[in-house]
Amino acid sequence: MSEPQDSQLANNPLYLRQKERADSNKPPSRNSPLGAVAQSRFPEGRSRREMVEGILAQDEGLVEGHFGSVYYIPTTVCGIELKLEPLQPSIGTIVHGLDLATDLKDPEMVSFLRELWLQRRVIMFRGQAHLSRQQMVEFAQHFGEVGAPFGEREHIPNSPHDLNQQVKVPDIPNMLVLPSDETVPNAASGWHCDATWQTRPPMGSILMCREAPRIGGDTCFCDCYSMWEGLPLQTKQRIEGLTAVHVGGVGHQMDGKTPVAIHPVARTHPETGRTTLYVQQGFVRRFAEEHEITEDEEKSLLLQMKMQEGRPEYTCRFRWEEGSLAMWDNRAVLHTASGDFWPHRRLMERLTILDFDATRRTPYYAQQRSD
């Protein structure tokens, strides 16, 4: 079996428990997308080793190359020629031609990127492998306050059940390292906004790819503005004053306590003033009890909202390369990892950013806000 991606994992109990399954030659669990896709790719595999060898044989002919053409918008900012490649009509733009280590010294460039980010919800960059972890922090600080790995510090998870919390970065304690390899498959598959179980969820997230699979492992993003607009008018009128209960998972526990927060179903974006649907399958469990909604109506409404998640018209998909970086607006998009890349390796680093303006951090709906 392969060596862990970080030496800190070698003797970690969580890693070792999962390694035991690998050492016993059992395939990854089909209950996870990584295991289900692996079984689909190589159904004749009866053991883990057979599946690894079979899938890698399918992929051994892959070579790196670039072909075809894309449409982009040429623009010049601070004397730098940029190419803006839209991934989908309403969401997602790759910014080509920028070095994030050196080209953000002019406030005009920072302002341009922030406006683009608000307009497109998620912006991406390629060719940034040279960025050190400290330079990632410096990039993030242009746009917000760098928070703890899950945002606000009132609830800092310390769960031993989350692999993503096992790799510590002493000089960058706010960084979350997300490893995945053949021994321990790991992908945050399932539509969600980051840490909505916090009372004041993070404004945004920045994700860097340090090691990319040759195939698979993309991240998909879904436009929450379109999710709201796509609901029937009758449904909007019914839910726009409601609140929902967001519950963290076992991996988000702090000292054994599971975080819970209540947020508006319809959320007003504090910078654009537009309405987003702030409900997702990742953490929303039910409506707040104060609304006294019947079980049947609750199921119906939650299902209608869930059906908006991941519609092709609302989503874009970003293919990772080593040195690719994405920054998304947690107030306006959902995201999910594509758990389809096992047994290939994938190593990501994430920073969480908070709004500089602390008064804008708590989610609200404009018609409900009193101040």
Residue 254, beta-bridge partner list: 257
What are phi and psi for residue 179, nearest 5 degrees? -95, 155
CB 149 within 8 A of CB 159: no
For tokens 């839209």, what's the residue? 86
Say what the pLDDT of residue 371 is: 42
CB 231 within 8 A of CB 307: no
pLDDT tens, per residue, the chain with 371 residues: 567 788 888 888 878 888 888 889 998 888 889 899 999 999 998 899 999 999 999 999 999 988 889 999 999 999 999 999 999 999 999 999 999 999 999 999 999 999 999 999 999 999 999 999 999 999 999 999 999 999 998 888 888 878 777 888 989 999 999 999 898 888 888 899 999 999 999 999 999 999 999 999 999 999 999 999 999 999 999 999 999 999 998 889 988 899 999 999 999 999 999 999 999 988 999 999 999 999 999 999 999 999 999 999 999 999 999 999 999 999 999 999 999 999 999 999 999 999 999 999 999 998 754 44
> Residue 251 in 3-state DSSP?
helix
Q: What is the largest CA-CA distance in the chain?
A: 62
Measured distance CA(347)–CA(210) in Å, rounded: 5
Measured distance CA(119)–CA(224) in Å, rounded: 13
For tokens 């698979």, what's the residue? 216
Say what the pLDDT of residue 202 is: 97
Say what the pLDDT of residue 14 is: 79
247: left (phi over 0), alpha (psi -120 to 50) or beta: beta
What pairing do the DSSP bridges indicate for beta strands 122-125 and 93-96? parallel
What are phi and psi for residue 295, nearest 5 degrees? -60, -40
ω into 343 cis (within 30 of 0): yes
Measured distance CA(137)–CA(246) in Å, rounded: 28
Say what the pLDDT of residue 370 is: 43
Say what the pLDDT of residue 31 is: 87
For tokens 């404004």, what's the residue? 203
Measured distance CA(8)–CA(5) in Å, rounded: 9
CB 156 within 8 A of CB 251: no
